[in-house]
Chain A
């Protein structure tokens, strides 16, 4: 074996850092799915009637749907009756009212993940909502945000405290009937984050949700809803990890964003769900629907994602550019290694006039990883003067992995412009030799080259996250040059 193959193999064998299990008492509903389970979930959350109705409508619709098969990923059939749809860390007493009442085991679990929830420890000025299995366990900096009029809470709390807002916007971007996984989520989702930025407010800090799957045999179905009123701005970050388990676990989340006139939402994800082991055993099946409605004039939604985890990634964060002059952006790094599979990309639907979208996708495949970019750019008839620019770059490490690019373009008027560029490259032996000749070890050279490849995307991330993402990429680089 050449040294490069060896180094890459050593990198491959690095351990997933977040694979521990927290021993905590949980309140779970019986395995399987039926109307009673849905009623039980809704009752546990003490939901108003409209929520239960919505869930049941979704469930009944879901029964008529088939799991999609068009994506370029392979996995054995999922037994939806073998999943636990609700698991919550059992509250000590009445359920936490403040951080002091949160089970210390939970705080410890997040601390171990590098997410200290005590506010005084968070110098960085990032407010965090922590979701453990299906429920939000703590939201920090609530008071400071409330002063600015910003609502940042768990979804459950929003349902109790702001039912009108929830009723108005829930399902307004991703309807309950949208697709198999989103519909399932609509029926059973247990918690998530809710953000509301009032008119003219620039959110005073970064908001962040940290998702953690802990319980076994549990699906995680969370839902995030962000509404940015006229002229407001918010930057939102999301991170995720899970323990190492031999069995695959399902994660089917929904994120809905609404940006009104001149509002701007920046949504960043660092996805590090457990990817499975080197033989492809275990790992999270990540089937996620994320969509933003740039509803207002000159509104802007930008998605940035760094996808390094999960056994399967199936997600297409999209923007519906409804308002005139609206802007949509998608910046993505997706890394697949070992037996990971990713089918990811975006949809940019241009409806308003002079709308603009940019797509920048960087796919990295190593080991036996399969990486597919799938993107749709649709410019409707009325979207005159609209523009899209798409750039898809793939980087291959080794000979056993694959990269695939599937752009779909539909343009229904003549005044719009669509540009698409794509490239596929390998980490060259010449690049590695150039580095090693200068004294840089092969391992450092590989992560330097890969990080360089992703630089344009990383610079879209908030500073702290960018550093985290770079480290993550180096750790996840478990490739092999043939």
Chain B
């Protein structure tokens, strides 16, 4: 794939928090419509990577570049990145007491539409859209009356993230451990929601700790993160190898091969 056809190109990305280096040179290329899985042990920097892509200011990028649709992504604010089509499903979705779940989502959608020069949706049209998307993740209508993530179970929160993704219709979706804390039924529901959102125009970076999710969401590429870097990349079979041998061995082999 040529450089200009890539949706996302990450080169030697370094990031720190409070002076501590977390990302230590990440390289990654994602084409339109591709699904990339990022796996790796806890603390290896997966969430940090996701949040740096989404523009969280907590992390300081100290080196490297990120091109998104050929543009310098790091120059954009989080809202601008959202406008450009980046969506991140949070590992730990945040509660916003007193703010209605649907009100929040409509505000977000209309903010995006406005900045893209599209017409805003009125309450009725939005509700119709929301109802249709709620079906994708088998979300109960009782969700709609509740405050953003407040009092949601772990599984409900994750479903809510995918519901938001379905409504906001991003070009690049980054799913951060959307599978963790889900029982097998919930996992299937969420995965089928995600699969129904796969398209040639939408790329996904699916971060997961377990290969279980990848049985349902089959990735084009699998990357293994260790200590702030991508230590191995391969096809979907890499996920299985990881499952059998564990991270230590997979990473270790790479260190030994150096």
Contact = CB atoms under 8 A, between A and B. Distances in A.
Interface of A: 2-4, 428-431, 433-442, 444, 448-449, 451-456
Contacts of B82: 436-439
A438 B108 contact: yes
B98 A439 contact: no
Nearest to A2: B57
A439 B83 contact: yes
Nearest to B81: A437
26 contacts: A3-B57, A428-B94, A430-B94, A431-B94, A433-B57, A433-B78, A433-B94, A434-B93, A435-B104, A437-B78, A438-B111, A438-B112, A438-B168, A439-B83, A439-B111, A439-B115, A440-B79, A441-B79, A444-B111, A448-B96, A449-B99, A451-B98, A452-B98, A453-B98, A455-B98, A455-B99
A440 to B, nearest CB: 5
A429 B57 CA distance: 9
B249 interface: no
A455 B56 CA distance: 28
Contacts of B168: 438-439
A454 B115 CA distance: 28
A439 B104 CA distance: 11
Contacts of A449: 96, 99
A453 B97 contact: yes
Given A430-B94, A433-B56, A439-B82, A452 B99 contact: yes
B47 to A, nearest CB: 12
Given A438-B105, A438-B108, A441-B79, 10 more contacts: A433-B56, A437-B88, A438-B82, A439-B79, A441-B111, A444-B107, A451-B99, A452-B96, A452-B98, A452-B99
Contact of A452 (B55, B147, B164): B147
A453 B150 CA distance: 12
Interface string B17-34: 000000000000000000
Contact of B107 (A430, A431, A440, A454): A440
Given A438-B164, A439-B79, A451-B98, A429 B58 contact: yes
A429 B94 CA distance: 10
A439 B87 CA distance: 9
A431 B57 contact: no
Chain A interface, >50% SS class? helix
Contacts of A3: 57, 77
In the complex, the 3 A-B pairs of residues with the closest C-beta atoms, listed nearest first: A452-B98, A452-B99, A455-B98
A428 B97 CA distance: 12
A354 B88 CA distance: 53
Interface in B84-110: 87-88, 90, 93-94, 96-99, 104-105, 107-109
Contacts of A442: 79
B112 A439 contact: yes
Nearest to B58: A429
Contacts of A4: 57
Given A439-B115, A441-B111, A434 B55 contact: no
A435 B115 CA distance: 15
Contact of A439 (B56, B57, B108): B108
B54 interface: yes
Contacts of A433: 51, 54, 56-58, 78, 94
B253 to A, nearest CB: 36
A436 B83 contact: no
Nearest to A450: B98
Could you say which of A428, A436, A438, A451 has the most chain B C-beta atoms within 10 Å of its C-beta?
Answer: A438
Interface string B148-179: 00000000000000001000100000000000
Contacts of B94: 428, 430-431, 433-434
